[in-house]
Each structure stands twice: as C-alpha cells, then as structure tokens.
C-alpha cells in the first residue's frame, strides 16, 4: 500500500494508532437524543492525551445495535469504526472471544467451547482490523493493539506494513501451558502475537506463561523477556495497568460527591459498616462466593442488619451468552435467599443493583464503603480495587482482595488477601476487614495509595510506549514485587 493514500489520519496517515475491540466512545441518550460520549475508564483517559489533536487514531467496534454513525473525530481523537455483522457478533464476539478465549484464559472457570466456525470468524475479523490499521497508519507509525479479541492483528499487520512498530497488550490473564495447549489454534495465536515488537502482560507470571508456550509451540528461542522467532526479536514483559488516580482523587474530593456518599449511607439506614462489591456481572468475579460468605456471617450473627449491609453492583455484560444469563439467575437467587432469611422490614442485608453506574455515583459508593470486596476467581488486574484505593482520600477503608487478581501483586502487603475458593478464609478476611483497627487500616490504605499514585494509568501508557520504542533488548517495566 502507498501510505500517502491513507484515507485518514491526515494525508500522511496517523503517527499513533490504537486498535482495540471497542472504540473509546459510547452511544448514550441525552434528553431523548442519542449522541456519542467518551467512555469512562482508565484506558481512554490514559491514551486521550497522546491521541488528541490529530496525533493519533483509535480503531474499534462501536458496539452492538448502534444505529448512529460514528463521527470521524471525538474529543480530538480520530475514530475509525470496524463494524461487525450479526454473524460476526455471534461467532467472533460472543463465540471465539468470549466463549472460547475468555474462559480458557481465566483458568477454564467455565469450559471453553471450541468451534471451527468461530475460529474462521475470529481470523476474518482480525484481518479486517489489521487492514483498517494498515490503511490509517503513517509510514513508520506506532501501533498499539489491545486485548484477546485481536491477537492475530500483529502478525497480519506486520506482513502488510513491515515499517510499523507494533505493540500488543493483553488486559486479561495469559494461562499456564497446561490450559493454553488445549486450544486447537494455539499455533496461529502465538504466531499472531509474535508479530509484535513488544508483547505486554499485566503480571510477570502471565509474561512467563506466554514465553514458555511460545518456545514450546512455535520453537521460539530465548528468555522469558526476549524471544527470537522468524528472524526477529520480540520483547515480552509485565506492565501492570492502573487507574486515572488524579481524576479519581479530584472527583472524590468534590463536596457534592462527598455529600452523595453521606446520603447513600443514610439511605442504607446509617449502618456501622457498609461493604461494597462492584463487578461486571461475570462468572470470573467470584460474586457468588462473596455472597455466600456474607450470608453465613449474617446467619452466624457476626453481621446483623442493624450493623452492616452489603451493596453489590452487577454491571450487565454479555447478556446474550447463556453462561452470563445463568450466572445472573444464580446470583439473584442467592441474594433473594440471603435477604429472605436475614433482612428485616426496611433493612436489607444485601442491596443488589443489576445496572451500570455513572462515575460520580460510583465514586460516592467507594467513599460510602468501609469495606471493599474484590474477590475474583481470576482477573488480569481488577481496576475496581485500584479505583477504591484512589478514591479513599482520607486514607480510611479496608480492601479485601483476591490473590488471583493481578492487582494483588502490587497491593498484597497492604490489602487483606484472600483465596476466594476458601469460604472460611473469605469469611475470616471479611471479619478482619470489618473489625480492622483504624490505625492499622490507615497505615495499610496509605501504603496502597502511594502505589496507585506512583503507578497511575498515564505512567502505565508512558512506560509501555517507551519500552516499545526502546531499541535495547532489555526492557525496564514497573517493578513487580515478586
Ligand atoms: C474486559 C476486557 C475488555 C472488554 C471488557 C468489557 O475488561 O479485557 O477487552 O472490553 O472486559 O467487555 P465487553 O465484552 O463488553 O467488551
């Protein structure tokens, strides 16, 4: 391709292209009218400064059932939509991405489904994304490919545009080889990723899993940090993602948001202890174990509705997938049982909301919560844990954190770590958090706040892009404390 023909990113194309399954905008209703808004979330705020003002482009899917045309530019970022038709939504998005890769990469918590038709759709959609990038990128541009939906893009893109510098970051876990080797298409997936110059993961364990599999499956040589394959050098490393700490602190310091937090506590009946869970409603999040543990603590009398309440937000997600529908039914049944047995008139043990929550309301909930329960069975990072810490501006509050969340690597010295499969351990961790000595709680929270202040999402993006541009075979990443 003659890159001066690039259709977007100015006549010469975009010098930085971000490609992710989703665009950074979402279609929302305002006063009866649909319009595009920037999506909330760290990834968008991390990359907006680098992309704004014509410096870059974001390529992605506008979402399911969206009729409104995607604007060529929003908030200074050039956008390029990759639409999916109904069959691709079924086979690429719901199928291969979320019913094959998602469960396989999350410890096979649900049995992954292997369908050849889904794989064909995955190949063809990845090819379409790669073409869109190849058309949009300036000569010698930097391309940053995100997440499990697009693992074939680096290799396809390199074949079309060898002049590009290509980075890939996986937001979810990368499984140990015993699981990954089940994948009938393990070889093309690994080759796809090895098309990048730099492959980044949330934690060192995932990076090592990948390098080990790359040596075994495609015969790459080298260490966990540098692989040689197909006459090229590919660097591999851990880049733990974080949150927009400054923006969260600003919201959490806003008197209106703090007032809303006080109001939430009053609306809950001014209990001594507010516990909070905030998750996409996903079977990887371990919400049922958390509910069972809390239910048993009510049953044993350690918790009573005059003293404590759990607010559980389940953000609707992938509702067309039967695993997600069943998970929702299962959780709603559990909430019903626990509330039926332990609530009293006007006081519920569990307040369960199946809805998404606007950012200010979310921050107010974090401020209202004495105890945050983040207990996934497996999670690449879990940004809710870091958001809670960032919002606790008065350094109070306790975080119960699963040791199977990537966030535990950085927060393990100060969070109350738990194995979410161990119900007794989970109950003990919740008791510990509820009864935490205030001085100890503040000391722990201060330690965690230092970490999320130092390693915010902007630092994450800077570190990744700097490593992508570094020529040395040694990459320096955020230190992993173990
Ligand atoms: C996880 C994935 C993202 C994904 C998000 C929401 O965080 O790592 O790639 O976009 O979940 O899931 P959805 O299927 O709605 O895009």
Of the given ranges (64-68, 109-113, 171-175, 299-303), which has the lowest mean pLDDT?
64-68
Ligand 1, atom 7, lies closest to the CA of 171
Mean pLDDT of the chain: 94
pLDDT higher than threshold 70 for residue 164: yes
CB 447 within 8 A of CB 413: yes
Ligand 1 atom closest to the CA of 148, numbered from 1: 9
Of the given ranges (53-62, 186-195, 239-248), which has the lowest mean pLDDT?
53-62
**Residue ranges of domains in the chain, CATH in brackets:** 3-241+458-469 (3.40.50.2000), 245-454 (3.40.50.2000)
Q: What is the arrangement of strands in the sheet containing 77-81, beginning at the earlier edge strand?
A: 73-74, 77-81, 56-61, 14-22, 137-146, 165-169, 198-201, 232-238, 226-229, 221-222
Q: Given this model, what pLDDT does residue 167 score? A: 98
- 353 CA → ligand 1 middle, Å: 20
Ligand 1 atom closest to the CA of 20, numbered from 1: 9
Average pLDDT over residues 258-286: 98
Q: What is the pLDDT of residues 340-357, one digit of tens each?
A: 999 999 999 999 999 999
Residue found by looking up tokens 């995100």 in the block: 146
Q: Given this model, what pLDDT does residue 286 score? A: 98
Q: What is the pLDDT of residues 180-206, one digit of tens each?
A: 999 999 999 999 999 999 999 999 999
Instruction: List Cα–Cα distances, 226 to 175, 199, 476, in angstroms.
Output: 19, 10, 12
The neighbour count for residue 346, using CB atoms within 10 Å, is: 7
- 474 CA → ligand 1 middle, Å: 31
Q: Which of 96, 144, 172, 314 to mutate to test the pocket of ligand 1 (most atoms within 8 A of CB)?
A: 172
CB 78 within 8 A of CB 57: yes
CA gap 4, 2 in Å, rounded: 5
Task: Output the six-digit token pair for 367.
Answer: 């401020």
Q: Which residues line ligand 1 (CB under 6 A)?
A: 21-22, 147, 171-172, 317-318
Average pLDDT over residues 377-406: 98
Residue found by looking up tokens 């209106």 in the block: 256
Ligand 1, atom 14, lies closest to the CA of 318
Ligand 1, atom 10, lies closest to the CA of 22
Ligand 1 atom closest to the CA of 380, numbered from 1: 8
């Amino acid at each position: 391709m003659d890159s001066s023909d690039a259709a977007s990113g100015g006549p010469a194309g975009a010098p930085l292209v971000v490609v992710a399954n989703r665009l950074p905008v979402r279609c929302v209703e305002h006063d009866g009218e649909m319009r595009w808004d920037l999506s909330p979330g760290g990834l968008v705020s991390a990359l907006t400064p680098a992309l704004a003002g014509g410096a870059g482009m974001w390529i992605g899917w506008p979402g399911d059932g969206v009729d409104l045309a995607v604007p060529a530019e929003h908030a200074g970022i050039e956008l390029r939509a990759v639409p999916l038709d109904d069959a691709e939504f079924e086979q690429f998005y719901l199928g291969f991405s979320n019913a094959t890769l998602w469960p396989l990469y999350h410890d096979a918590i649900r049995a992954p489904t292997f369908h050849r038709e889904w794989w064909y759709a995955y190949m063809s959609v990845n090819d379409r994304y790669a073409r869109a990038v190849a058309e949009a990128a300036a000569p010698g541009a930097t391309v940053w490919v995100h997440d499990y939906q697009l693992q074939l893009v680096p290799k396809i893109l390199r074949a079309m545009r060898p002049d590009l510098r290509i980075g890939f970051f996986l937001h979810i876990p990368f499984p140990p080889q015993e699981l990954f080797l089940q994948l009938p298409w393990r070889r093309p997936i690994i080759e796809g990723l090895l098309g990048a110059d730099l492959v980044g993961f949330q934690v060192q364990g995932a990076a090592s899993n990948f390098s080990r599999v790359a040596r075994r499956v495609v015969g790459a040589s080298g260490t966990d940090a540098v692989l040689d394959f197909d006459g090229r050098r590919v660097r591999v490393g851990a880049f733990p993602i974080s949150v927009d700490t400054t923006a969260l602190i600003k919201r959490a310091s806003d008197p209106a948001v703090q007032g809303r937090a006080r109001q939430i506590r009053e609306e809950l009946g001014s209990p001594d202890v507010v516990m909070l869970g905030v998750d996409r409603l996903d079977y990887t999040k371990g919400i049922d174990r958390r509910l069972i543990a809390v239910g048993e603590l009510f049953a044993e009398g350690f918790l009573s509705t005059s003293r404590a309440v759990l607010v559980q937000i389940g953000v609707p997600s992938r509702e067309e997938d039967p695993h997600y529908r069943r998970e929702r039914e299962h959780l709603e049944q559990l909430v019903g049982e626990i509330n039926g047995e332990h609530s009293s008139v006007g006081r519920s043990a569990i307040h369960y909301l199946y809805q998404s929550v606007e950012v200010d309301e979310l921050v107010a909930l974090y401020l209202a919560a004495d105890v945050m329960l983040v207990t996934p069975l497996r999670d690449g990072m879990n940004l809710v844990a870091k958001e809670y810490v960032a919002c606790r501006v008065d350094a109070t509050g306790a975080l119960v954190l699963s040791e199977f969340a990537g966030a535990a690597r950085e927060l393990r010295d100060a969070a109350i770590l738990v194995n979410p499969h161990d119900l007794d351990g989970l109950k003990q961790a919740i008791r510990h958090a509820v009864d935490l000595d205030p001085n100890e709680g503040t000391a722990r929270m201060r330690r965690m706040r230092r970490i999320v202040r130092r390693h915010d999402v902007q630092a994450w993006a800077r570190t990744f892009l700097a490593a992508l541009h570094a020529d040395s075979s040694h990459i320096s990443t955020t230190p992993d404390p173990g």
